Homo-oligomer: A and B are copies of this chain.
Amino acid sequence: MKEKELIQIITKTLDSKYIGDDCAYLKDLGITISQDSLVEDVHFKLSYMTPFQLGYKAVMVNISDICASGAEPKYLTISLSLPKDTQNSFVKDFYEGAKFAANGVEIVGGDITGGDKVFISITAIGSSKNRKISSRKNAQAGQKIIVSGPHGSSAAGLKLLLDNQHTPQTLINAHLMPKAQVEFSKKIATAATSDYAMMDSSDGLMDALSQIAQASNVKMSIDFSKIPFDKEIKIFNNWQDLVFYGGEDYQIIATIEEGLLKKLHGYTIIGEVEKAEKDFGVEVNYENHKEFYTPKQIDEKLYNHF
């Protein structure tokens, strides 16, 4: 909760039109830009991640931000802060992982400094050339809500890792080596002819739906039965919470005009954008009942669960 309070302070102090989406769209330069940090013992623990995996994931989450904007990921800069006793091999492996994740996106700079813990801050730059750039403000009643893949797997993998378990491998991999939806988002951004909302599910499915609902002042109405998830997460009693509130799956969530769907593939329609009658928020339709959540309720759930 405190993070959102601080973001409000920052937004108020800066009075900038750019703060809001994960990426800022700098129209005059034809780019989108995003910067994200990973802090040891806050966002990850070295007990369950190799330096290669850490470099991989740090880059991938930033590429995912660019994908969510609709831009083409082009360049990265990496700042790395390391404790004094860090082995040289850590740096080599970290950058090997970073390069593997970058997969053609060029790492062009950054710096390396000392510190008490491992701190990584990465900036990603995307090109808006021949792309229509998304905004979470762009959801409109009548649009279909689509996702690129399963939710809950990464959070399930993290639970296993924290419990010192290393199977099922699909769940572990979902957490340690997620994939940004480069092709999926490209299809949308190059085919779109009208405004659309798009986010990645870095902070979970419900958070993304809630953010879009709030920014666009709409109701995001989804069917629970349609949300794709990996059946292996059912080993957890609270698997429904993992699907809703588990983060770091880095799937794409978008609100799309129905006419555009025929140009896409690999998506799952999970619901539809509706007008917000009274409150904006997320409506979940179950087999026999439905429930409505305000962004505040979703924030509280997120805060209590994770």
Q: In the complex, which residue of chain B has the Cβ closest to the Cβ of A43?
A: B113
The answer to whether A42 touches B113, judged by C-beta atoms less than 8 angstroms apart, is: yes
Q: Is A245 an interface residue (CB 8 A)?
A: no
Interface string of A158-178 (1 = CB under 8 A from B): 000000000000000000000
Q: Is A37 an interface residue (CB 8 A)?
A: yes
Q: Which of B35, B39, B106 contacts A109 (CB 8 A)?
A: B35
Q: Is A261 an interface residue (CB 8 A)?
A: no
Q: Which of B6, B26, B33, B77 contacts A91 (CB 8 A)?
A: B6
CA A116 to CA B116, docked complex, whole Å = 8
Q: Is A214 an interface residue (CB 8 A)?
A: no
Q: List residues of chain B with CB within 8 A of the CB of A221.
A: none
Q: List residues of chain B with CB within 8 A of the CB of A95.
A: 9-10, 13-14
Q: Is A117 an interface residue (CB 8 A)?
A: yes
Smallest CB separation, A12 vs chain B (Å) = 8
The answer to whether A24 touches B119, judged by C-beta atoms less than 8 angstroms apart, is: no
| A109 and B42 in contact, given A99-B13, A115-B117 (Cβ under 8 angstroms) | no
Q: Is A142 an interface residue (CB 8 A)?
A: no
Q: List residues of chain B with CB within 8 A of the CB of A285.
A: none
Q: Is A79 an interface residue (CB 8 A)?
A: yes
The answer to whether B109 touches A23, judged by C-beta atoms less than 8 angstroms apart, is: yes
The answer to whether B113 touches A75, judged by C-beta atoms less than 8 angstroms apart, is: no
The answer to whether A42 touches B114, judged by C-beta atoms less than 8 angstroms apart, is: yes
Q: Is A81 an interface residue (CB 8 A)?
A: yes
Q: Is A198 an interface residue (CB 8 A)?
A: no
The answer to whether B5 touches A37, judged by C-beta atoms less than 8 angstroms apart, is: no
The 8 closest A-B pairs by CB, nearest first: A121-B121, A24-B108, A18-B108, A35-B77, A123-B123, A13-B95, A24-B109, A37-B79
